[in-house]
Amino acid sequence: MNSRFLYSFIFISCTFISSALAQANLLNARVPQNVGQRNEKQNAANDETPLAYGFIDDRDVLWSKTVWEIIDLNERINFPFYYPTDTISLGSDRRSLFDVLKKNIRKGTIKEIYSDDYFQEKITYQDILDKLVAIDTTDLGKDQLNAGEAVDAQFIEEKRLTAGDIRQYKIKGTWYVNKRQGELKYRLLGIAPCSPDVNFKDDQNVKDLVELFWVWFPDARQALNSSYVFNVRNSSQPITFDHMLNSRRFNSIIYKEENVYQDRKIEEYIYEDALKQLLESERIKSVIRDFEQDLWNN
């Protein structure tokens, strides 16, 4: 929405990733094993520290609005967050956003993980695994149980959610006007992967998605800035996930805004009418965009 902020952010971020990880040493490698290995000078020049947010005093915030959005991974523009789902032949450099989040939560690099979008109840990596894995018994195994027999291992199946099962991401962020700079800016606060329930992942009739966990985004920036997204326009200049999300290089739909009605969702006051729900989402976007334009009309 703010083109000046977006262009400046892209320019600065591209400067930092000019010697990015995915294609490091590609043209100088004598054997395939040398691809991706940087020398000492390259390591020194490659700064993986995310671009720091500036301090915003509460008195400088003239106006703000918090919104919740859905990033639909079926849309082509959002594919960089979904692929690759199969990384066997791609090495360790390219991963989907879900794999990056899961890996860093397991390693402890990302610590602020919550069960809700208001970040009130913290959860652990084991709590996340309980949502990703389910143990079930086949019909033959149930027959053995009913007969009082021990269930054979072959009749016990494990269902597991992977990156390929993620259908969308939900994000929470705040649009605000900094009166010192006179600009409308955006600050991403949280992100959550959404997928079918692990117990019904193979049931095509089940359309409902569940939020697996919410990550407090500022805590995840260091990890996301160390992981790169494939750049379809220039493979020698990959983009970090931190850059992709902060510069809003995705398409999304607002499904909720903060309001007096306990932050109710759009679908809770516009029933079973997808077109009107989409128009309401666009109306909320227009309110945010028009506020900045109206600053200079008086």
* pLDDT tens digit at each of 298 positions of the chain: 555 544 454 444 444 444 344 456 667 776 776 676 766 666 655 666 888 888 889 999 999 999 999 999 999 999 999 998 876 766 667 889 999 999 999 999 999 999 999 999 999 999 999 999 988 777 777 777 777 777 777 767 788 899 999 999 999 999 999 888 888 999 999 999 999 998 888 777 778 899 999 999 999 999 999 998 888 888 878 889 999 999 999 999 999 999 999 999 999 999 989 999 999 999 999 999 998 888 776 5
CA dist 240 and 52 (Å) reads 15
Q: Is residue 26 part of a domain?
A: yes
- Is 78 among the domain residues? yes
In this prediction, residue 10 carries a pLDDT of 43
CB–CB of 70/183 below 8 Å?
A: no
In a domain? residue 145? no
What the block records as the tokens of 160 is: 């597991």
| CA pair distance 220, 224, nearest whole angstrom | 6
- Specify whether the backbone of 119 is left (phi greater than 0), alpha (psi in -120 to 50) or beta: left
Q: What is the pLDDT of residue 7?
A: 47
C-alpha–C-alpha distance, residues 105 and 101, integer Å: 6
DSSP characters over 240-294: EHHHHHHTT-S--EEEEE--TTTT-BGGGTS-S-HHHHHHHHHHHHHHHHHHHHH
Q: What is the pLDDT of residue 220?
A: 96
If one counts every other C-beta atom within 10 angstroms of the C-beta of residue 58, the result is 6
C-beta pairs of 200-206 under 8 Å, 24+ apart in sequence: 201/159, 201/161, 201/165, 202/159
pLDDT score at 40:
66
Q: Is 19 a domain residue? A: yes
Q: What is the pLDDT of residue 2?
A: 52
Residue 139 lies in a domain: no
- What is the reported pTM? 0.81
In a domain, 61, yes or no: yes
d(CA 277, CA 268): 10
Q: Is residue 193 part of a domain?
A: yes
Domain that holds residue 228: 3-133+161-294
Q: Tell me which residue has tokens 């977006």.
A: 6
Q: Indicate the number of domains in the chain.
A: 1
Does 62 fall in a domain? Answer: yes
The whole-angstrom separation of Cα 160 and Cα 38 is: 36
